[in-house]
Chain A
Amino acid sequence: MARTSTHMRHAAITVLAWGIALWMFFPILWMVLTGFKSEPDAISTPPHFFFSPTISSYQDVFARENYWHFATNSVVISAMATVVALLVSVPAAYAMAFLPGPRTRMTLLWMLSTRMLPSVGVLVPIYLLARATGLLDSRTGLIVIYMLTNLPITVWMLYTFFREVPVAILEAGRMDGATRWQEVTQVLMPLALPGIASTGLLSLILCWNETFWSLNLTSSIAAPLTTFIASFSSPEGLFFAKLSAASTLAVAPIMVFGWVSQKQLVRGLTFGAVK
């Protein structure tokens, strides 16, 4: 009896999990499907699940905009912002994790609190600053902004990972004659590498998906893929198929990337929670 009820419960959980997963995945699936529809099919009600697929939307998208220009911008900006963020946050997290002062905790919370401020709240000052420094519509401008907005998250994550490293191992390194630099590069970094990797991955994804600043601070030269999608959005939901095709093109790289690295990501995001 007990055995059957356990089986039933497992089955129920499996069905529920699949249901939730499909429910969350459905918009993406729908977007991909719509990209292969003709424009009339795309907006028909009731919606068509079966249709004759066409790649005309993709052809139109490629004809109208230079996809590779936007894609290159996305890759360069996300990668650079992530690299710089790690360069800044590894030493910061090291100091906070291993040399904490009486105000470390407050500093960490304050950093996190900056993420709670809506971006639009600082739009005007940031825009004016970017204009004054000539960083409007430049990759450098976006790299700086992305790096700064992600710093609280990268510092927090690395701080959590570093805290898991036993202090005694670093002290052993110090006793063995390691300088601070050698202690970090030869003892701490190899130990925390999985954590640093997941932090980098998360930062990449956040940068790739960032829309607000890219729309407001770039127009053409430095515009990443999020701007590319936005350029296909039109009022009254016209050209829905083309918008879907453009969106698919924009999210495909990061989805493939996330798929490949999901093991690392899951480990990173649940680190410390499950032991």
Chain B
Amino acid sequence: MATVELRNLRKTYLHEEIIKGVSLVIAEREFIVFVGPSGCGKSTLLRMIAGLEDISAGDLLIDGQRVNDTEPARRGLAMVFQSYALYPHMNVYRNMEFSLRLAGMPEAERRQRIGDVARILQLDPYLDHKPGQLSGGQRQRVAIGRAIVRNPRVFLFDEPLSNLDAALRGQMRVELASLHRRLGATTIYVTHDQVEAMTMADRIVVLNKGVVEQIGTPLELYHRPRNLFVARFMGSPPMNLLPVTINAQIPEGSVQVRTETLSVSIPTQQTGLEAGAPATLGIRPEHIRIDPQGAVQGVIEISERLGAVTLLHVRLPDGQMIVVQTGGDNADRADTPIRMTFEEEHCHLFDADGMALARSTDHPLLAGA
């Protein structure tokens, strides 16, 4: 297994810079997820690592060796494509054998390897089937098998689950995670689905317009978003964001912000905040409590009952909509006026440039991180 290092990688295409200097060190056995909206450059970055796209500037190192100009196959990587990209004219066995045959591996060894991989992925009964005769999930498994047989130093996945239906996607997510634990392979995984990113990653790289917005563990990104983009992107339903005005800095590490109708004191280590400056208050739906004595009032517009939890879409007096997550047994209906409390220690504050202000409290799971 291997380490991968990206040093200020850049990609220019037709005079337009798509990847604007990405630096990252990926440790051995690490599961890294590139996540971001479509067009953010995550697939391009993966393809640059794979060798399918030229690197315009910067260095790519695998195990400390610069591989910018090395042929894809010689980089020791294996890739699973979004469309699976199986060879339709070859059966499952031949699909997995292709790379081994090209590498000149003896027949007996090939048979042995493919047998082992087929067993892990439960593909034995389908070895003589053509890809066209397989279901989506089975094709996916063949694509993974084709990557595994090569015993690569690094696995690359390009949105591998996006063509599967929701139930199968959940199942494959678990299978991929356990496969990663079993093989212990360094893995780079691209997705636009933040649930996949949260559940599988050791570390997540959030990309936006070719720039890294934040790198961190799933919980770091969730609880300590560095800016508004990450705050918006991670979490479902997304964080509530309200434009506010800084009211006053209270000396002992907290700041008071207000809108026309509400006022909240947020603990922060940031100093030198100017009264009257615009800012954005962020609070996740699960950190708003329904509280008859609460300071914030609103009217329920829609109540989405998901069973385990209920999401209340609440209109504040100034017309802003927020989402409040409550228990599944909440009985409130639409048009009911309610009162709420924002859990202050869980509030995020972003300055006019969208950057998060330093927090003074932290999530217990992140202590020491």
Residues of A within 8 A of B (CB): 166, 168-169, 171-178, 182, 186-187, 190-191
Contacts and interface: CB of A to CB of B under 8 A. Distances in A.
A16 to B, nearest CB: 37
A169 B73 CA distance: 15
Interface residues on B, range: 20 to 34
A168 B81 contact: yes
Nearest to B88: A191
The 5 A-B pairs of least Cβ separation, nearest first, read: A177-B73, A176-B99, A168-B85, A172-B85, A177-B102
Interface of B: 50-52, 72-74, 77-79, 81-83, 85-89, 98-99, 102-103, 146, 150
B87 A171 contact: no
Given A168-B85, A187-B87, A190-B89, A175 B98 contact: no
Nearest to A177: B73
Given A166-B83, A168-B81, A173 B89 contact: no
Nearest to B77: A175
B191 to A, nearest CB: 17
A169 B102 contact: no
A173 B81 contact: no
Contacts of B78: 175
A168 B89 CA distance: 15
B81 A171 contact: yes
A175 B77 CA distance: 8
Nearest to B90: A190
A178 B85 contact: no
A26 B287 CA distance: 83
Nearest to A170: B85
Given A168-B81, A182-B102, A175 B72 contact: yes
Contacts, number: 56
Nearest to A102: B14
Contacts of A176: 73, 98-99, 102, 146, 150
B102 A178 contact: yes
Contacts of B89: 190-191
Contacts of A187: 87
Contacts of B82: 168
B77 A168 contact: no
A173 B98 contact: yes
Contacts of B86: 169, 172
Contacts of A166: 83, 85
Contacts of B72: 174-175
Contact of B87 (A172, A175, A177): A172
A168 B83 CA distance: 7
B102 A172 contact: no
B2 to A, nearest CB: 16
Interface centre among A166, A172, A177 (most CB of B within 10 A): A172
Nearest to A165: B88
B85 A171 contact: yes
23 contacts: A166-B83, A168-B81, A168-B83, A168-B85, A169-B86, A171-B52, A171-B81, A171-B85, A172-B85, A172-B86, A174-B52, A175-B51, A175-B77, A175-B79, A175-B99, A176-B98, A176-B102, A176-B146, A177-B99, A178-B102, A182-B102, A190-B89, A191-B87
A100 to B, nearest CB: 13
A176 B52 CA distance: 12
Residue among B72, B74, B78, B146 with the highest chain A CB neighbour number at 10 A:
B72
A182 B192 CA distance: 34
A169 B85 contact: yes
Contacts of B103: 177
Contact of B81 (A172, A177, A182, A191): A172
A175 B73 contact: yes
A175 B50 contact: yes
Contacts of B102: 176-178, 182
Contacts of A171: 52, 79, 81, 85
A168 B79 CA distance: 11
A182 B102 CA distance: 9
A186 B90 CA distance: 10
Given A175-B77, A175-B78, A178-B102, A169 B87 contact: yes
Given A166-B85, A171-B52, A175-B50, 18 more contacts: A168-B81, A168-B82, A168-B83, A168-B85, A169-B86, A169-B87, A171-B81, A172-B86, A173-B98, A175-B72, A175-B77, A175-B78, A176-B98, A176-B102, A177-B103, A178-B73, A182-B102, A187-B87
